[in-house]
Amino acid sequence: MTYTEPGLATTRQVKFDLNERPFIVIWEMTRACDLKCKHCRAMASPQRDEMELTTKEAKSLLDDIASLGSPKPVVVLTGGDPCKREDLLELISYSRSLGLATGVAPSGTPLLSSEMVTNIRHAGATSMSLSLDGADPDTHDSFRGEPGSFELTLDAAITAISAGMRLQLNSSVCKTTVMELPKLAKLALELGVITWSLFLLVPTGRGIDLEALSADEIEDLFHFCVDISQIIPVKVTEAPHYRRVLAMRAALSESGEDWIKRLNPGLLYYELRNQFDNLGIGPKINQTTDRATTKRPPLAINAGNGFAFVSHRGDVCPSGFLPISAGNIRFEPLSVIYKTSELFKNLRDSSTLNGKCGRCEFNGVCGGSRSRAFGVNNDTNSDDPSCNYVPGTFQI
């Protein structure tokens, strides 16, 4: 029998209509940043762009987001580096005064002092996202292009948690960073993060020059993530087929089958697991997979479908990794662009998917990364080339 269960058991569903409003809005406050990260989607540089949204325009954007009704979308202020804007604290306070859950994603630079982290908290930020791509200064700092970034980021993480913020740790995954993941998982566990978010490389911005994992390696990585999600809340960004792997593992678990025999993971899975197990942390991971054993199952949102990105100049895109503008908030509110633009409507309609993703029985729970489909094939509706699944082949 071909698998038909939509995978709800292992996915958190948003409890309102995603055609009406997004679950989360990411605003790129500025492209200015003092780091020179190898993967940077924004191709950031230290100088601010004169065309950035002004404080007044930013407040209008936040007013519009708050007008969308309850539950109000989550707002994340990102960059570049939000600390490069002198109105950061003012805008956090304003966002909170509108009742918006507000997170900040600053860069690990000297601007992110303990005092700054505390001020961000006092201004009203409820969460902070910080990036570590390597588990020690050598690996992280060389990826981020700035000596000292590892220590600054770690200090900020500890201060953020002490100040009462929820901490999300972000890690970029490509060939050069993948074997850092077991040690980063240990760090995430020790820090007590609310989410460890793995960003799978999308070939856009400076990320074009990095080598992505192959589709088979990504499958191995997902199995590693499913395993450790029993003890660490793992999220995978720009890789919705993680939800397909979770659903397959849950289905096999329910039918009492050994997932290793059926899904036959490759060498990378065993390397990651061995390295993680040798670190001797956490409770033993068992081989069953369901919602009860998965910490914070992934949310069923994708680019343009529950997710919206506003660029530093006000362009509204489905994701920061899908740089197609559906309109600009200087001319039309985000709330209208999200709901009515053809680009966003197309991305919310799984019947418009082509090729393998269009035929796939998992496209309701997954749908593939539209950003990667665009980045690789220049077509938002095409296959996600990072998925090795052959539709119709998973039988239970």
Binding site for ligand SF4 (CB under 6 A): 241, 244, 356-357, 360, 362-363, 366-368, 384, 387, 389, 391
Which C-beta is closer to ligand SF4: that of 27 or that of 259?
A: 259
Which C-beta is closer to ligand SF4: that of 108 or that of 298?
A: 298
Distance CA 115, CA 119 (A): 6
Q: How far apart, in Å, are the Cα atoms of 136 and each of 128, 153, 193?
A: 21, 11, 18
What residues pair up with 45 in beta bridges, in sequence order? 32
Tokens at residue 87, please?
A: 């109105």
Question: At closest approach, how far in Å is the CB of 365 from ligand SF4?
Answer: 8
Question: At closest approach, how far in Å is the CB of 383 from ligand SF4?
Answer: 6
Which C-beta is closer to ligand SF4: that of 80 or that of 297?
A: 297
Which C-beta is closer to ligand SF4: that of 141 or that of 384?
A: 384
Specify the pairing of strand 306-310 against strand 316-317. antiparallel
Question: At closest approach, how far in Å is the CB of 373 from ligand SF4?
Answer: 9
Which among 188, 192, 253, 189 has a CA at the least distance from the CA of 223? 253
Question: At closest approach, how far in Å is the CB of 45 from ligand SF4?
Answer: 34
Question: At closest approach, how far in Å is the CB of 315 from ligand SF4?
Answer: 26
Which C-beta is closer to ligand SF4: that of 129 or that of 289?
A: 289
Which C-beta is closer to ligand SF4: that of 100 or that of 357?
A: 357
> Helical H runs in 129-180?
137-144, 149-162
**Residue at 309: amino acid letter:** F
Question: At closest approach, how far in Å is the CB of 363 from ligand SF4?
Answer: 4
Distance CA 179, CA 169 (A): 17
The CA-to-CA distance between both ends of the chain, in Å, stands at: 6
188, 232 Cβ separation under 8 angstroms: yes
